[in-house]
Structure 1
Amino acid sequence: MTSGDRTGADEIVRLSTIISPLRRGLLRAARNTEGLPDIPDAQIEVLRALPVGSTRSSGELATELGLSRPTVSNLLRAMETAGLVTRHVPSNDGRRVDVAASARAVSLLERFDRAAAEVLAESMAALAEFDRASIETAVGPLERLRDLVQNAAASHSNANRLDADA
């Protein structure tokens, strides 16, 4: 490994150690700003997979999120109890159960997103202009990186399922 490769590897490790604390700090600050309840990350992921006005089956959610069906079923049970999702059986298919985000969940996510944007804006305003410009320039590449990481996670999850079925 050359010194240039080492520097790149060091920056990758550094980035990976920044992302989780940044995310947790943003979640905590947004929750505190809006007085929001502490909704577990897994439940937030389910809600993000249920855009307003859409429904999905628990199996579709499990596939999309790379989780087992029993895990999704347990999450949905807890979320229904907390008033975050609604479940109903379509009249044309008694074997399927459709899941939708509740009005309460949609409101909480909107409040969270608004508070998170405010926290980021205030924090970025405290940075030097050069740092703000660097972060703004990095948004597009970070979105593409997120997509690649999610695709890799889905590929690994599918490969693991295939191995388990073999």
Structure 2
Amino acid sequence: MDTASELSRLLGPLRRAVLRATRSAEGLPDLPEAQIELLRALAEGPLSPRAAAQRLGVATSTISNLVKTMKAAGLVNRESAPDDLRTVVLTPSPSALELLDRYDRISSAVLAQAIDQMPAGSRDALEASLPVLAQLVSTLDSSGESPDPRWNARTWESGLGGR
């Protein structure tokens, strides 16, 4: 199997394994990955639904569906922009920011523990691969492709429509 195929095959299971281990370590709620990604984007500052969709590389309708669910759960606030009352901006709720912080802290601890259990050579290889993985993310992000309009929250959350 070539490198691209093997990496593609491993990314989804790796993301899901990290989320499962993180949730079970602290009894955190079962937030879908798509909601966590949206919260991360909103934690950097308010975004319009369109800007959030562009930032995450998904369709605006996907963001709308996520926002409905997340607003009902008290995770996202939807407000008028201060400079233009016709424009809506999304912000994370204080409880969402606290939850995101817990996810990040626990996820880092779970990963650190798993990495510590690996042989030294594997740990070194993993550490050496981080800049290369960051470069791969940058290369993929700069490809300039528009999100596929068939992507929606359901396929994104299940990992089938991811970029």
- TM bracket (short chain): 0.7 to 0.9
Unaligned runs of 5+ in 1: 1-8, 162-166
The 2-side partners of 1:56 and 1:43 are apart by 15
Residue of structure 2 in register with 1:90 after alignment: 81
Deviation larger for 118-127 or 59-68: 59-68
Residue of structure 1 in register with 2:13 after alignment: 21
Letter in 1 for 2:53: A
The equivalent position to 2:38 in structure 1, one of 29, 38, 46, is 46
The 1-side partners of 2:17 and 2:83 are apart by 45
**Greater share of residues in helix:** 1
The CA RMSD over aligned residues, in Å, is: 1.8
Shift in alpha-carbon separation, 1:55–1:126, aligned structure 2, 3 A: same
The 2-side partners of 1:10 and 1:62 are apart by 32
Aligned with 2:77: secondary structure?
strand
TM-score normalized with structure 2 length = 0.83
Identity %: 38
Unaligned runs of 5+ in 2: 150-163
The equivalent position to 1:146 in structure 2, one of 122, 137, 158, is 137
Aligned residue pairs, count: 149
Larger RCO, structure (CA 8 Å, separation 6 or more) = 2
Residue of structure 2 in register with 1:31 after alignment: 23
Equivalences for residues 107-122 of structure 1 within 5 A: 107-122=98-113
Report which of the two structures shows the higher radius of gyration computed on alpha carbons: 1
- 1:89-120 Cα shifts (integer Å, max 9, x gaps): 13431211111011111111111111111111
- 1:45-75 Cα shifts (integer Å, max 9, x gaps): 21121125x1111121122222222221121
Residue 103 of structure 1 pairs with residue 94 of structure 2: yes
The 1-side partners of 2:37 and 2:23 are apart by 16
The 1-side partners of 2:98 and 2:51 are apart by 24
The 2-side partners of 1:90 and 1:10 are apart by 48
The 1-side partners of 2:111 and 2:145 are apart by 32
